[in-house]
Amino acid sequence: MHKKSLEELSILTASKDPVPGGGGISGAVGALAAALCEMVTSLTTGKKKYAEYETEIQLIMKNADELRVKLLESINKDAEAFYPLSKAYSMDKETPGYEETLENCLRSAAASPYEILELCTSIVKLDERLATIGSKLAVSDAATSVMLAHGAMYGALINIRVNTRLMKDKEYASALENKAQDLINEYCPRAVRCYESITERLNG
């Protein structure tokens, strides 16, 4: 699915097919955020003005590319986790093992957006550094990147909760929700501060 063109992906998303849904699209948005992050490094590397940061820029470039690939792959992972869940929903509730099957499917379906959320926090950290050492000519792309990551994190969060709310194991569900919310509480404000710091740099 992640190898489809942007047009194909958008058409498929707009259709009545349940995948890609909010989780997969959060992954797609995260991948674009990572790509923009990498773009800033591509436009900064080799510049004399930023020569002292060259080693760090190269490392950020490598990390951003790895994040981009992982987030693209998450589009497929999210879809693959949904299909067993959709089948579990249609099972007869009297079927032996029904509750266990549904519970396992819900866990898998929640795990994918949680991974997306974690990956997007890494984008925020990279953009925070690029806000300072990235080329001023490209740093607006880091600002765009960090806010795309911000939106993708919230998209991932709600797609975790849509699954945890149905889990019978409330302790597991609560623990996962709390871990996700902790990441949101830390990294979403950081994303906004990063955006604001870039705005200040451009105005300076």
Model confidence at 82, pLDDT cuts 50, 70, 90, reads confident
Average pLDDT taken over every residue of the chain: 94
Query: CA 110, 60, 45, 130 torsion: positive or negative?
Result: positive
pLDDT at 90 over 90: no
- The CATH number corresponding to 21-203 among 2.40.10.10, 1.20.120.680, 2.40.40.20, 3.40.50.1360 equals 1.20.120.680
pLDDT at 78 over 70: yes
Q: What is the predicted pLDDT for the residue at 84?
A: 83
Cα–Cα distance between 151 and 58 in angstroms, integer? 26
Cα–Cα distance between 136 and 143 in angstroms, integer? 11
State the helix-helix crossing angle for 98-133 and 54-89, rounded to 10 degrees: 160
Q: What is the predicted pLDDT for the residue at 115?
A: 98
* DSSP per position, 167-189: -S-HHHHHHHHHHHHHHHHHHHH
pTM, full prediction:
0.93
Model confidence at 2, pLDDT cuts 50, 70, 90, reads low
Over residues 114-153, the pLDDT tens digits come to 999 999 999 999 999 999 999 999 999 999 999 999 999 9
CB contact at 8 A, 184 and 157: yes
